[in-house]
Amino acid sequence: MTTLHIVPKFVAPGPSEFQASFWMDLSPNYDPANQAEVSAAITDWLQDMYDIIIPMVRTVITATEYVCYVRDLLTGEDSELFTGNWTFAGTNSTDSQAPQVAATINARAVLSDRPAQKRMIPFTDNQMSEGILSAGTITNCLNFAAQWTAVRPPTANYSYTPGLVSKGTPEVFSAFTGVTAVNAAVGTVRSRKRGLGI
């Protein structure tokens, strides 16, 4: 198997940059000859997740690219495989919450005692009231979580299993159980720095 680390990137005026971090088990091992096949599968996965939250994000936040790395679980190091293009542009004209304010999705994994946490890109002000997400926003986040954690449709040469990588020596990839939850209260991200996945 090959453990992929997938990092989609976003930009907004400011200038502000955001990026996320996702893990996927690719089986059998990655072959560079099949890059187009794997890239298309990753693009579909990102679109299936992020299309759900387009109406919750301000129009000025757009996607730029994603970077796909292979993770060496023995050393904890990434090696870049390829970059790819995908499409995301918010459609909400309301002002965004501050970059440090983020909705949080939790996802359980088979071999981990602690859930994976996904800090979302900034939502607009009208997705919450006094720091509490609206019912519709929570539903959309749960739908995002379902796409994030579900085993992906196989392609001609590969199967795709999302999960998390637990820190340690060596690191361990663990598939998701499908159990997810959304924090009703938004949290704060200490910083969203260049090169930091969320």
Q: Is residue 29 part of a domain?
A: yes
Q: Is residue 193 part of a domain?
A: no
Who's near 109: CB < 8 A, 6+ residues apart? 115, 116, 163, 164, 166, 174, 175, 176, 177
Look at the chain and report how many structural domains it folds into.
1
pLDDT > 60? residue 192: no
Tokens of 78: 């990434």
- Kindly state the average pLDDT of the residues 10-19: 87
| Per-residue confidence band for 33, with pLDDT thresholds at 50, 70 and 90 | very high
Who's near 14: CB < 8 A, 6+ residues apart? none
Q: Is residue 26 part of a domain?
A: yes
**pLDDT per residue as tens digits for the range 74-84:** 999 999 999 99
Q: Is residue 198 part of a domain?
A: no
> Residue 57 is inside which H or E element, if any?
none
Residue 190 is predicted with a pLDDT of 54
Q: Is residue 164 part of a domain?
A: yes
Buried b (16+ CB within 10 A) or exposed e, 48-79: bbbebbbebbbebbebeebbbbbbebeeeebe
Q: Is residue 197 part of a domain?
A: no
> Among 46-55, 71-80, 138-147, 181-190, where is mean pLDDT lowest?
181-190
How much of the chain exceeds pLDDT 70, in percent? 94
Q: Is residue 195 part of a domain?
A: no
Strands 62-72 and 172-182: unpaired
Residue 130, domain extent: 2-188
**pLDDT per residue as tens digits for the range 143-183:** 999 999 999 999 999 999 999 999 888 999 999 999 999 99
Q: Is residue 194 part of a domain?
A: no
**pLDDT per residue as tens digits for the range 108-137:** 999 988 899 999 999 999 999 999 999 999
pLDDT > 50? residue 9: yes
Residue 13 is predicted with a pLDDT of 84
- Are the C-beta atoms of 98 and 132 separated by less than 8 Å? no
- Model-level pTM? 0.92
